[in-house]
Chains A and B, each alone.
Chain A
Amino acid sequence: DVKVTQSSRYLVKRTGEKVFLECVQDMDHENMFWYRQDPGLGLRLIYFSYDVKMKEKGDIPEGYSVSREKKERFSLILESASTNQTSMYLCASNSPRTGYTDTQYFGPGTRLTVL
């Protein structure tokens, strides 16, 4: 089975802190994605990556950056956390080898609270 893991289930940080959210997948997938999920808004794409060291902005990249140094790991970075970044963050992966029409596999999510 595909497994996508995220480093923390719950995280509490203070305004202005630098925050790292880590995501690891074990299926050798090329594509990895970061979303945030807020009530009434659904999932919104923050950043995605098609390969190591490659990244592209999603719909809401402001205030975030990403890093993909290894194929299996995709990190989301909040350079200076703000209260409006309190949210559920979900990581996903899939492979273009099965076509872009294949489903994305999701991690369990990290609920981040910024005080």
Chain B
Amino acid sequence: KQEVTQIPAALSVPEGENLVLNCSFTDSAIYNLQWFRQDPGKGLTSLLLIQSSQREQTSGRLNASLDKSSGRSTLYIAASQPGDSATYLCAVINNDYKLSFGAGTTVTVRA
């Protein structure tokens, strides 16, 4: 059974600092990996999707890397802003097409 772990569980940084969020998964036979953002009391918004054949994806200040063989992904957020404060969730699509989620990293960016 796929297990997805996110470290750290929480992170607090001053505005302008770069953020590094880590995700690891136990079964490397995945179709893709996704990073989501969740604001308090809200649903999930997709940020980046990396296909299993890709090594990274970029969108604006966000960059996500994927090392499928070692079961790791990292989300980088450059020059953080208070509006980046949220919970970030990592999820993988397995061979059975179901999503397995990590528990998330809660980020606070201090002004």
A residues neighboring B (CB under 8 Å):
4, 9, 33, 35, 40-45, 48, 58, 90, 92, 100-109, 111
Contact = CB atoms under 8 A, between A and B. Distances in A.
A79 to B, nearest CB: 24
Given A101-B31, A101-B51, A109 B102 contact: no
B: interface residue count bin: 20 to 34
Interface string B82-106: 0000000101010001110111100
Contacts of A108: 42-43
**Main DSSP-derived SS at the B contact region:** strand
Nearest to B4: A42
Contacts of B46: 103-105
A36 B98 CA distance: 14
5 contacts: A35-B101, A42-B89, A100-B97, A101-B31, A109-B41
B86 to A, nearest CB: 14
A106 B44 contact: yes
B32 interface: yes
